[in-house]
């Protein structure tokens, strides 16, 4: 009997948050890999392991036990002494620090923050005017009334020491609502955090992730489930691995410490996890463009694929990511192949470059190293080189993967500094690509807007599925040579061109 893989934790959900009043792009490092740690881990030691194994990582999410008695805005002297120095060392290793903050405050008459909020009448009450006090294993708690503008302003100011002095890079809001409080309090807490960070560092894009807890977060998992979950998250806004899951003893490397990191299940799973994380970093320009399209136009990053003329099994959760990718997560443990329903049109298997006619089911192999996904014909999919973190160095190379279509297709690439707000002053680059293909000619044009200057000077353009081998290849009226490689027996033609090219024309 097969076992279903849980690609999402059913008890908790985590997402990247945006300002409702001032829609803004997140910093680009927010789209990198995030490792969640609790206080049983020494962050600097874990950072050293990431770098020694050359596994990309941009941030550590520090759990609530890095705070004194789980008390918001108070570092633990035992688990995280001298926080400013530790955060500096992590930053030098290319890893930013994200700290968990709970929506509830400890009911503690010796805590100045609690007393200040109590004195100002900032906490949630019942309809009868009674203070709502929640009891749990960690004690009594109160919940600020984030629907009040005064409370939101007060809450945002509480971040000043950790954000400005300690240089924490962002925050992880954990919310859990008591029955009496409306759901809007959740979003208002996040909004209060974002607004507070903008006031403290107006030149930086705030980073806030939100996790809503609805109960236990335990999930029995082995190496295969870990990899399949990680692969699925490559194609989600927030890409992370948590550490609070229950591990399956038979899969764990007994020589490994018990942090929930890529190497916890041994070298084979470590290598597969690294492969999935590297894919995320290669696709960063596509993902960042997809985020920009959401902020600019309200276009959803992920969209369900549900054709009306086909019956889709309940365990088929294929979805569209951005405008050009179809993702089909593997749900069955031990799966060796998977039946996938493709949308209309032609679609290329990303890993083999094999082209399929859509509006039908296709069967593909599902090796543990790869999540099945497809590229819409005619698309231009930008790639970066693999970095150990987004701030390691400016991108010195761009690869444009172009997939033949007998017809016309449009794609985009958005780039900017990756932080700050100069992009609102025209300091960005938006490249519009138009692909036009026939059996006798292929033309790719590029139109650029914005004042951002590329950090790379050339780009490699890879053409897949061409119906002919080019005999005549012209870039901006100049002849150019090309290389040919094969992917799973399918030829791919590679042209190295100036990054500001305007037109590539290929003929047989």
Residue 255: the pLDDT is 44
Band of the pLDDT at 221, cuts 50, 70, 90? confident
Q: Rounded CA gap, 458 and 396, in Å?
A: 8
Name the token pair of 133: 């006090």
pLDDT tens-digit series, residues 71-129: 888 899 988 999 999 999 999 999 999 999 888 888 988 889 999 999 999 999 988 88
Q: Rounded CA gap, 383 and 189, in Å?
A: 36
pLDDT tens-digit series, residues 291-300: 999 999 988 8
Q: DSSP characters for 260-302?
A: -STTTT-HHHHHHHHHHHHHHHHTHHHHHHHHHHHHHH---SE
Residue predicted with more confidence, 432 or 105: 432
Q: Rounded CA gap, 164 and 210, in Å?
A: 21
Among residues 465, 472, 415, the alpha carbon closest in space to that of 437 is found at 465
Stretch 483-506: mean pLDDT, rounded? 95
Percentage above 90 pLDDT, the chain: 65
Helix 267-282 with 223-233: angle, nearest 10 deg: 0
Residue 317 has pLDDT above 90, yes or no: no
> What is the β-pairing status of strands 503-507 and 442-449?
antiparallel
Residue 139: the pLDDT is 83
3-state secondary structure of 115: helix
Stretch 245-263: mean pLDDT, rounded? 56
Stretch 327-349: mean pLDDT, rounded? 92
Residue predicted with more confidence, 135 or 167: 167
Band of the pLDDT at 21, cuts 50, 70, 90? very low
pLDDT tens-digit series, residues 462-476: 999 999 999 999 999
Q: How many CB atoms lie within 10 A of CB 68?
A: 16
pLDDT tens-digit series, residues 37-46: 988 889 999 9
Name the token pair of 409: 């297709």
Q: How many residues in the chain? A: 508
- Mean pLDDT, the chain, whole residue set: 87
Residue 436: the pLDDT is 98
Residue 127: the pLDDT is 85
Band of the pLDDT at 65, cuts 50, 70, 90? confident
Q: Which of 41-50, 106-115, 321-330, 422-431 has the lowest mean pLDDT?
A: 106-115
Residue 312 has pLDDT above 90, yes or no: no
Domains of the chain, start order: 12-103+146-281 (3.20.20.80), 288-508 (2.60.40.1180)
Chain-centroid distance, C-alpha 228: 16
C-alpha torsion angle, residues 71, 72, 78, 82 (rounded to 10): -150
> 368, 224 in Cβ contact below 8 A?
yes
Stretch 472-496: mean pLDDT, rounded? 94
Name the phi and psi angles at 17, rounded to 5.
-110, 150
Band of the pLDDT at 12, cuts 50, 70, 90? very low
Name the phi and psi angles at 407, rounded to 5.
155, -155
pLDDT tens-digit series, residues 392-422: 999 999 999 999 999 999 999 999 999 999 9
Stretch 259-280: mean pLDDT, rounded? 93
Residue predicted with more confidence, 485 or 298: 485
DSSP-assigned letter for residue 351: T
Name the phi and psi angles at 281, rounded to 5.
-70, -35
Name the token pair of 505: 């024309």
Q: Which of 82-91, 201-210, 384-393 has the lowest mean pLDDT?
A: 201-210
Residue 243: the pLDDT is 62
What global pTM score does this model have? 0.91
Band of the pLDDT at 173, cuts 50, 70, 90? confident
Contacts of 366 (CB under 8 A, 6+ apart): 330, 335, 336, 337, 338, 372
Task: Give the helix/strand (H/E) hosting 151.
Answer: helix 149-157
> 465, 353 in Cβ contact below 8 A?
yes
Residue 1 has pLDDT above 70, yes or no: no
Name the phi and psi angles at 408, rounded to 5.
-120, 145
Residue predicted with more confidence, 248 or 196: 196
Name the token pair of 222: 């082995």
Q: Rounded CA gap, 262 and 53, in Å?
A: 10
User: How many Cα atoms are found within 13 Å in the side-chain-facing hemisphere of 216?
Assistant: 5
Residue predicted with more confidence, 112 or 181: 112
Range with the largest mean pLDDT of 87-96, 211-220, 337-346: 87-96
Residue 185: the pLDDT is 64
């Amino acid at each position: 009997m097969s076992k279903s893989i849980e690609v999402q934790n059913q008890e908790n959900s985590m997402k990247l948050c945006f300002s409702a009043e001032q829609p803004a792009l997140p910093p680009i490092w927010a789209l990198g890999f995030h490792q969640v740690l609790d206080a049983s881990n020494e962050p600097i030691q874990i950072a050293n392991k990431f770098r020694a194994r050359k596994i990309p990582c941009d941030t550590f999410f520090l759990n609530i036990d890095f705070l004194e008695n789980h008390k918001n805005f108070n570092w633990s002297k035992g688990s995280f002494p001298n926080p400013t120095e530790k955060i500096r060392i992590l930053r030098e290793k290319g890893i930013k620090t994200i700290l968990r903050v709970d929506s509830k405050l400890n009911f503690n008459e010796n805590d100045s923050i609690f007393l200040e909020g109590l004195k100002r009448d900032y906490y949630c009450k019942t309809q009868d005017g009674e203070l709502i006090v929640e009891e749990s294993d960690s004690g009594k708690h109160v919940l600020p009334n984030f629907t009040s503008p005064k409370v939101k302003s007060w809450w945002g100011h509480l971040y000043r020491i950790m954000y400005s002095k300690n240089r924490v890079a962002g925050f992880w809001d954990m919310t859990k609502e008591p029955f009496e409080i409306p759901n809007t309090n959740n979003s208002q807490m996040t909004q209060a955090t974002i607004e507070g960070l903008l006031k403290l560092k107006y030149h930086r894009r705030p980073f806030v992730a939100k996790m809503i807890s609805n109960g236990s977060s335990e999930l029995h998992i082995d190496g295969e489930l870990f990899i399949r979950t990680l692969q699925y998250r490559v194609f989600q806004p927030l890409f992370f691995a948590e550490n609070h899951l229950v591990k399956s003893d038979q899969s764990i490397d007994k020589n490994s410490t018990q942090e929930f990191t890529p190497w916890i299940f041994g070298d084979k799973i470590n290598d597969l996890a690294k492969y999935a994380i590297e894919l995320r970093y290669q696709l960063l320009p596509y993902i960042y463009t997809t985020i920009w399209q959401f902020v600019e136009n309200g276009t959803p990053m992920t969209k369900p694929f549900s054709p009306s003329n086909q019956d889709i099994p309940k365990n088929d959760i294929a979805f569209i990511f951005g405008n050009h990718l179809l993702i089909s997560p593997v749900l069955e443990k031990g799966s060796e192949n998977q039946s996938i329903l493709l949308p209309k049109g032609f679609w290329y298997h990303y890993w083999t470059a094999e082209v399929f006619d859509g509006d039908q089911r296709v069967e593909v192999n599902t090796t543990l190293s790869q999540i099945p996904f497809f590229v819409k014909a005619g698309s231009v999919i930008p790639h970066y080189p693999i970095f150990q973190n987004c701030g390691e160095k400016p991108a010195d190379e761009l690869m444009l993967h172009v997939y033949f279509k007998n017809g016309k297709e449009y794609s985009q690439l958005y780039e900017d500094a990756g932080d700050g707000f100069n992009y609102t002053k025209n300091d960005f680059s938006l490249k519009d690509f138009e692909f036009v293909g026939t059996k006798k000619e292929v033309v790719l044009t590029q139109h650029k807007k914005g004042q951002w200057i590329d950090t790379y000077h050339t780009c490699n353009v890879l053409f897949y599925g061409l119906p002919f081998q080019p005999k005549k290849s012209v870039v901006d009226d100049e002849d150019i040579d090309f290389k040919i490689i094969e992917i799973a027996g399918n030829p791919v033609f590679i042209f190295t061109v100036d990054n500001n090219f305007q037109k590539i024309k290929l003929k047989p």
